[in-house]
Structure 1
Amino acid sequence: MTEPVLSLRDAKLTLQGNAGPVDILRGITLKVARGETLGLVGPSGSGKSSLLMLMGGLESATGGSVQALGQDLTALNEDQLARFRRGHMGVVFQSFHLIPTMTALENVATPLELAGHKDAFERAAAELEAVGLGARMDHYPAQMSGGEQQRVALARAAAPRPEILLADEPTGNLDGTNGAAIMDLLFGLRDRHGATLVLVTHAPELAGRCDRVVHLRDGRIESEDALRAAE
């Protein structure tokens, strides 16, 4: 394996609950290669989403190390993590997290503007066209279906051309038809931009399209399946 895009070594996450500390992740060691598509699967409460959050610097490991693109995420403060994500990562959640007072075009263009791109609206328009929403750019989230809102969220994540794309149950709130369309778009984004894709899913058909699947249980890696060689 060449230099990994993501590397976790004995990563732990312990959170304080009402009854005391709760071990969410119990020592995860994992590497993700450039261009690889990795699926994280397992029962509810197994730590899938928490692991994804560690990879994105959205949660801080309480033990071990988490590196992304050679950068030790555990050494960065909140502002530094935000800048790192803005420059290198796209994140898609099950809930779309769109800004309700902004149009689809504005939702996609805003992170590009924050990153200093002069052509933010042109790039946002092109990304919305790519996900089939060219006719919906001026619509607000409340005027769109769930599938359309998830397409906007995908376009927003992909527009900055991130090296790492993280997706947490991206089809979880969608019906079968829309879920299948979002799957195709996710893998299309990976192919168009060459991003490394890590996704959490309960959908076997989505996991089955990944290069490798990691099974989690009780905060630990239970097993791994290599479905195909990463390109």
Structure 2
Amino acid sequence: MVLSLRDVSLSLEGNAGTVDILHDITLDVARGDTLGLVGPSGSGKSSLLMLMGGLERATSGRVEALGHDLTAMDEDALARFRRSHMGVVFQSFHLIPTMTALENVATPLELAGARDAFDRAEAELDAVGLGHRTGHYPSQMSGGEQQRVALARAAAPRPDILLADEPTGNLDQATGEAIMDLLFGLRDRHGATLVLVTHATELAARCDRTVRLVDGRLESESRRAAASAAE
């Protein structure tokens, strides 16, 4: 399994005391799978995605990615693991405002020691239809263009696991549909395992599997009929 969670719970300390976010989550994600995390606001979808990426630490239980126990790693080890194996796309893009699109995409490649960082970044931007915008800064781009840069940045290191948190949440319908096509296209092109959080039913419907969370618990799971028929 690419991702394996066993009896995972998450509690966070707030001003009003301890808040229980996730309860006893057990879930496996196979290589090449596309998994949609759905459910009402506040159900714990984004928190679960963050646990899968080692961006949040489980209060109890075990989270494994590619056979590595993320719950046993310190922050430096987690950062190195993400750099080598994961791409993360956030709803709010998280681009560096003082860097051009090309520099934003090339930066993680440079940190990983890639000698051809800028060539690969340029190719990835071209693949998402932004070959003509490589020298532009985030403030000079639309929301859809910024999300394309974020997708290119996540995909450029050829990650084994691609995590996306509401990737179409801040976009209009037409732009959101274009981003959906790009997201699944990147998955197909690089063979990454894709896990995404979404409220968009049409995006969830494109996933091989869908898991529904309610009040921090796995309520149900469904598999796309076409995927089941092919197995």
Correspondence for 1:134 = 131
SS of equivalent residue, structure 1 residue 113? helix
Taking structure 2 as the reference length, what is the TM-score of the superposition? 0.98
Give yes or no for the alignment of 1:57 onto 2:27: no
Deviations along 1:101-147, one digit per CA (max 9) or x if unpaired, are 00000000000000000000000000000000000000000000000
Question: Hey, what does 1:16 align to over in structure 2?
Answer: 13
Offset at 1:153?
0.2
The runs of at least 4 aligned residues of structure 1 exceeding 3 Å deviation read none
Question: Match of 1:82?
Answer: 79
For residues 172 and 45 of structure 1, the distance between their equivalents in structure 2, rounded to whole angstroms, comes to 15
Looking at structure 2, the residues matched to 221 and 47 of structure 1 have their Cα atoms a distance apart, in angstroms, of 10
Q: Secondary structure at the match of 1:209?
A: coil
Partner in structure 2 of residue 113 of structure 1: 110
Tell me the residue number matched to 2:159.
Answer: 162
* Separation of aligned partners in 2, 1:36 and 1:217: 22
RMSD: 0.9
Q: Deviation of residue 162 (structure 1)?
A: 0.0
Matched residue SS, 1:179: helix
Once residues 169 and 117 of structure 2 are traced to their aligned partners in structure 1, the CA distance between those partners, rounded to angstroms, is 29
Q: Which of residues 82, 87, 93 in structure 1 aligns to 2:90? A: 93
User: Secondary structure at 2:132's aligned position in 1?
Assistant: helix
How far apart are 1:17 and its partner, in Å? 1.4
What SS is found at the alignment partner of 1:138? coil
**For the residues of structure 2 that align with 1:77 and 1:178, how far apart are their CA atoms?**
38
Question: Percent identity between the aligned chains?
Answer: 81
Q: CA deviation at 1:20?
A: 1.3
Question: Which amino acid is the alignment partner of residue 36 of structure 1?
Answer: D
Amino acid at match of 1:189: L
TM-score (structure 1 length as normaliser): 0.98
Partners of 1:118 and 1:27 lie apart in 2 by 43
* Counterpart code for 1:122: D
1:186-197 alignment to 2 at 5 Å? 186-197=183-194
CA distance in 2, matches of 1:19, 1:106: 42
Q: Does 1:216 align with 2:213?
A: yes
The aligned length equals 228
Structure 2 unaligned segments of length 5 or more: list them: none
CA distance in structure 2 between the aligned counterparts of 1:200 and 1:49, rounded to whole angstroms: 6
Q: Write the distance in 1 (CA, Å) between the matches of 2:173 and 2:18.
A: 38
Please tell me whether residue 182 in structure 1 is matched to residue 199 in structure 2: no
